[in-house]
Chains A and B, each alone.
Chain A
């Protein structure tokens, strides 16, 4: 197996990248790694998005998205 991995630079690179991906994906699956939610703030508009998918499907459900618009704009 070592002979095939070290045959040329491309097989070696492919092996390293496969090992890298497998270890990362396995660790992510075991630990349940998730992305952190995004939080934008500015003086005129506050948007806290806990569920990005709900924002994308805003027409279907607004329960998971909280949007507060300041009174200044009224």
Chain B
């Protein structure tokens, strides 16, 4: 791959981030701030003796344990951030191609030496690879502030806090699990990404309504035409198990990435993404 193509793709990714800063940086930052404020408020309501006891318990709990063994605990704490990431990605995908046509800036972007395929691919890479990086960075900042606050609390209350260093290491190890969970969840939901992009490129108004309405209609049509419910069964198999979206152990990543259901989902999503790429040429 030549250097110009790499720089071109980097510029596309940078454009996506700069146009949607609020979704990828603002939303997790606000959530982290709210969590911090809530934690400080709760700590201010609690008796100092209980805080000391809690700090001593934390210092002992993580002391000497492998950070990767304790990382799943912090993975569960990051679920609000992951839910926020999914909602923001939903909003981004539904609006991204629709907004270009609504503002008529699509004429400008299509005059650039960038193909529709590169543009749509940049949007997918933004959701799958880039957005989780910013969320993990915000979570890291939150953990850093929290550990400094706990250290100050420990010093002021005379608590031995060496064990909290192990807790911080477990929190750092959880960041890797959080990123891979988001990455694999995005690939698992690749058909959904393709579906949203398709209707973002197709709809003249209310793309989310189109996406939801046509999805329900297709389900009814399948039942009416073929007398089967394979679509509903397939969606149920991909959507109802929360464990499909979380990685608790790095050793399971390869098995989660390379299996039939993942490949089939990516194949289905590719059909929908191809539709979105071709749909982008209709700018009326």
Answer yes or no: do A and B interact: yes
Partner of B275, one of A13, A21, A35: A13
User: Beyond the given A13-B202, A24-B234, A25-B228, could you list 10 further A-B residue pairs with CB under 8 A, ordered by the A residue number?
Assistant: A12-B282, A13-B198, A13-B279, A15-B275, A16-B198, A17-B214, A24-B268, A25-B226, A35-B233, A35-B236
Q: Once bound together, how far apart are the Cα atoms of A29 and B221, in whole Å?
A: 16
5 closest cross-chain pairs (CB), A and B: A28-B230, A16-B275, A9-B282, A33-B233, A35-B233
- Interface 1/0 per residue, A30-50 and B, CB below 8 Å: 000111100000000000000
The DSSP consensus for interface residues of chain B is helix
Q: In residues 231-248 of chain B, which contact A (Cβ within 8 Å)?
A: 231-234, 236-237, 240
A4 close to chain B: CB less than 8 A: no
Main SS at interface, chain A: helix
Which residues of A pack against B, CB within 8 Å?
A: 6, 8-9, 12-13, 15-17, 19-21, 23-25, 27-29, 33-36
Chain A residues in 8 Å Cβ range of B282: 8-9, 12
- B18 at the A interface (CB under 8 A): no
- Total number of B residues with any Cβ neighbor in A under 8 Å: 29
How many Å lie between the Cα of A24 and that of B284 in the bound state? Answer: 31
Nearest-Cβ distance from residue A35 to partner chain B, whole angstroms: 5
Decide if B264 is an interface residue (CB 8 Å cutoff). Answer: yes
A17 / chain B contacts, CB cutoff of 8 Å: 214, 218
- Contact check, B232 vs A25: say whether CB atoms are below 8 A apart: no
Do B222 and A23 have beta carbons less than 8 Å apart?
no
Of the residues A6, A23, A35, contact of B278 by C-beta under 8 Å: A6
Contacts of A8 in B (CB 8 A): 282
